[in-house]
Amino acid sequence: MPVVFTLIIQVVVASLGLRAEARAFFVFGDSLVDNGNNNYLATTARADAPPYGIDSPSHRASGRFSNGLNIPDLISERIGAETTLPYLSPELQGEKLLVGANFASAGIGILNDTGVQFVNIIRMPFQLRYFEQYQQRVSALIGEEQAKRLLINSI
């Protein structure tokens, strides 16, 4: 299965011609791509304890709903970019904002009523609001024109 994901990622990256041109990487979605936002929420949809993370370099749970890297991690690795931080991470400040951000939250779906058993998750409309906040934060950091360029050259 990991081989299939790796091949898919390589095909996508190659077909898009991505490498150093991509300046920032943004992730929206559910548990397949959440890299820790839910760790900062009072929710039961969490991946902050074993067995999650047992195959990661630190062997500790990081908030990813996997035993190691997830798809955005592999894409970042493939294009030679830093891994994006969860948007809710207190570490996502200053220059780290310029790498992009992960807005994903486990338990959500395309429909707002998906995952109703979970409270305090970041449903898609809120992920998009956080993205708007992100843009404001980046504009304040590097100016509106530079922020627009960053977004244009992002994935």
**Do 134 and 59 form a contact (C-beta atoms < 8 A)?**
no
What six digits make up the tokens of 133? Answer: 């906040």
**Mean pLDDT computed over 37-62:** 91
**Do 45 and 107 form a contact (C-beta atoms < 8 A)?**
yes
Residues 6+ apart with CB under 8 A from 151: 24, 135
Helix, strand, coil shares of the chain as percentages rounded to 5? Answer: 40, 5, 55
Which has the minimum average pLDDT: 15-29, 94-108, 110-124? 15-29
Compute the distance between CA of residue 64 and CA of residue 38 in angstroms, rounded to an integer: 9
pTM of the model: 0.84
Instruction: Return phi, psi of residue 86, to 5°.
Output: -60, 140
